[in-house]
Amino acid sequence: MSGMTNGARRGTHGDYRGDCAGSDKRYGFQAVFAPCERVYVFESPIDLMSHASLVNAAMGDTEAWKQHSRLSLAGTSDAALPFFLKQHPTVKELIFYLDGDLAGLEAAVNLLRKYQGKGYSALIEPPQGKDFNEDLTEKIRLEKGQKNAVKMHKETVI
């Protein structure tokens, strides 16, 4: 890699995680819709994408997620955020959607204080579960359970 991207590897079995050689943490995983005044900030790309799916479901619109830009930090370090803000000077508001575990909550509080001190409007909105991917998978599980219950009810009525 040339240092112009950020790459991460995740295993499908166990807890394997690692960054690709030459990865540059300043380039977080981004979904940008310019010009943006608000950016949603996540720990991981999967949480960013899961949150976008939850927004679409809540709004009943597959394009709803495009109303706001999103950035994944690839962890709790803010290496990507100053770089992102420099590239997007129209951003005035940061919403931290970091994980609901101790590391995520502590990082969110530290980032909130840091960026409020720099003049940004900032909020913390933690997930209901551990992270937004867990929230999405729980929503899907509940919806499947409701569909199965309706199907079983129809079968018993007939």
Q: Where are the domains of the chain?
A: 25-157
25-157 carries CATH number 3.40.1360.10: yes
Confirm if 29 and 46 have CB atoms less than 8 A apart: no
pTM for the model: 0.77
To the nearest whole percent, how much of the chain has pLDDT over 70? 75
Mind listing the pLDDT tens digit for each residue in 102-135?
999 999 999 999 999 999 999 999 999 999 999 9
Distances in Å between the Cα of 31 and the Cα atoms of 42, 43, 84, 120 are: 11, 14, 11, 20
* CA–CA dist 101, 59 (Å, integer): 27
* 132-157 and 45-59 helices, crossing angle to 10°: 40
- On average, the pLDDT of the chain sits at 83
134: DSSP letter = H
Mind listing the pLDDT tens digit for each residue in 70-111?
999 988 988 899 999 999 999 999 999 999 999 999 999 999
Q: Cα 81 to the chain's mean position, in Å?
A: 13
pLDDT attached to residue 151: 54
Query: What residue ranges in 85-148 does DSSP mark as E strands?
Result: 93-96, 121-124
pLDDT attached to residue 2: 38
